[in-house]
Amino acid sequence: MGHERIEWIPDPGYWAIANHEVVAAISADSTRFCSSRGILVAEIGSTYDSPPTMMHTDPPDHTVYRALVQPAFGRRRMKTLEDSIRARVEPVAAVLCNGEVHDLVDLLAVPVPIHVIIELLGIDHVETSRVKGWSDAAIPDAMEMSDEDRMAAMGDMVTELLTTAARRREDPAADVLSELTNAEVTLDGVTHRLDDTELAMFGVQLVVAGNETTRNAIAGGLIALAQRPDQWQRLVDDPTLAPLAVEEILRWTSPVVSFLRTAVVDVTLPVPRLAGAAPDELTIAANDPVLLLYGEANRDPIEFGDTADLFDVGRTPNHHLAFGFGTHFCLGAALARIEIRVVLEALLAQGRMPSLVGDVRYSPSQIIAGVEFAEVQFLPA
C-alpha cells in the first residue's frame, strides 16, 4: 500500500483505504458514498429489492430505521444491563483464574456476549449453542459450513425471531424485540412501523453484530494483554486505566475488518500524509467501490504517531474507528464497552496474571477478525 495508505485493487476493482482521516471522511459522507450497493467486496455490483441489513441502507431510509431502533439502545437500558453482565462474568472469571489451562474463547468470550444478546432480545428460551450457530452462519467464511447448513441456520434464526416477535406484539415484555415490534416513529408527517421483513433484518443484525464483534474484542484484547505482561501490570497498578484499556483493545483488535461504500458522484478528497509531506488528493470516480479498512486505519501512524503499532492501555487520545464513524456508527457501542470493561475488572480482581499456552487459532473470515481458540493460564502475579 502506498505512502498515503490508499491503493487501487484492479481485480475486482475497488479502492482499498487505510488512511484514518480518509476512512472517517468517507464514513461520514452518506450523501456521496452509499451503502445500498453492498458493504462487502463480494457484493460489488449487487442490487437489492430490500436491504439485507440496516447497514445496507442510506438516508432517508436509514434515518427512519435509526429513529425506530435507537431508543432500544438508550443509556438507561445499557446501564441496567451492567449488573447482570457482572453477575454472569464474575463466576466465569473465577473459573478462568483457577490456575488451570482454559480456552478463553469457549469459556468466556463466546458465552458472555451471547447471553447478553439473549437477555436483550428476550429469547431466553434459546440455547447459547444455537445462537452461536446462527451467528457463525451469518458471517461468510467464519466457520466451515455447507451452504445447506448455513441456510438452515439462518432460516432457523429468522423463524425463531419472528415467532417471538409475534408473541411480543400481543404480550409485550421489557426487551428489545418487544420495543421493535411495537415501535413507531413519525418523520415528515409519515408514521413508520417495522414489518416482518424489517423485524427479521434487525433481529439478525442484532444477534450477529451484538455478539460477534464483542466476542472477538474480548478474546483479542486478552490475548494482547497476555502477550504483554507489562500492560497487564499497568492495569493492576492503576485499575482506573480500564476505560482507556477498553478503547485500546477496540483499536487493537478492530473486530470488523472492513466495510464497503460506493461513490455516487465523482469525489476529490484531501489525503493527509506524514509530518513534513505536503497533503495529497484522491479522486474517486462515480460508481467506484471503496473498501474502508478499519483495522489498518486504526494503525495509521499519521493519526496514532510512532506508537501506532504498540499496544498501550493508557493511550489517549484514541480516535479509533472500531465502531465505524458517522451515519453507521455502531448502535451497540455503549454495550460493547460495558462488556469489555466488566470482563477486565472481573479478571483484574482475581489478582492473577494471564499467560498464553500454545498457539492461537484465528478465524479464516476476511470480514471479522475472529479468534477461534486461545488457551490461557492465569498464574499468581
pLDDT tens sequence across 38-48 = 999 999 988 88
Residue 76 pLDDT class (50, 70, 90 cuts): confident
114 lies in some domain: yes
181 lies in some domain: yes
So what's the pLDDT on residue 167?
94
C-alpha cell at 117: 444478546
As a whole number of angstroms, the distance between CA 159 and CA 345 comes to 37
**Side chain identity at residue 210, one-letter code:** G
DSSP letters, 272-335, are --STTS--EEEEE-TT-EEEEEHHHHTT-HHHHGGGTTS--TT--S----TT--GGG--TTHHH
So what's the pLDDT on residue 154?
95
So what's the pLDDT on residue 317?
97
218 lies in some domain: yes
Q: How many CB atoms lie within 10 A of CB 80?
A: 10
As a whole number of angstroms, the distance between CA 6 and CA 4 comes to 6
- Considering only CA atoms, give the Rg of the chain: 21
Q: Does the structure show a pLDDT above 90 at 186?
A: no
For Cα atoms 294, 297, 303, give the angle at the middle one, nearest 5 degrees. 140
Confirm if 309 and 38 have CB atoms less than 8 A apart: no
Residue 276 pLDDT class (50, 70, 90 cuts): low
Confirm if 187 and 149 have CB atoms less than 8 A apart: no
162 lies in some domain: yes
Residue 275 pLDDT class (50, 70, 90 cuts): low
Share of the chain above pLDDT 90, in %: 73
* pTM summary value: 0.94
Question: DSSP state, 17?
Answer: E
Residue 58 is part of a domain; what is its CATH number?
Answer: 1.10.630.10
Q: For residue 250, which of 272, 219, 273, 281 has the smallest C-alpha distance?
A: 219
For Cα atoms 67, 69, 72, give the angle at the middle one, nearest 5 degrees. 120
10 lies in some domain: yes
As a whole number of angstroms, the distance between CA 313 and CA 233 comes to 10
The model's pLDDT over 84-119, given as tens digits with 9 standing for 90+, comes to: 999 999 999 999 999 999 999 999 999 999 999 999
Residue 72 pLDDT class (50, 70, 90 cuts): confident
- Domains held by the chain: number: 1
188 lies in some domain: yes
Q: CA 280 → CA 22, 134, 270, 305, distances in Å? A: 11, 44, 6, 19
Confirm if 19 and 5 have CB atoms less than 8 A apart: yes
93 lies in some domain: yes
So what's the pLDDT on residue 277?
60
1 lies in some domain: no
Expressed as residue numbers, the domain containing 169 is 6-380
Task: Answer left, alpha or beta for residue 335, where phi above 0 means left and psi between -120 and 50 means alpha.
Answer: alpha
Q: Does the structure show a pLDDT above 80 at 242?
A: yes
Q: Does the structure show a pLDDT above 80 at 141?
A: no
Q: What is the mean pLDDT of the chain?
A: 92
Residue 279 pLDDT class (50, 70, 90 cuts): low
Grid-cell match 418487544, residue found: 178
C-alpha cell at 164: 417471538
Q: Does the structure show a pLDDT above 90 at 71?
A: no
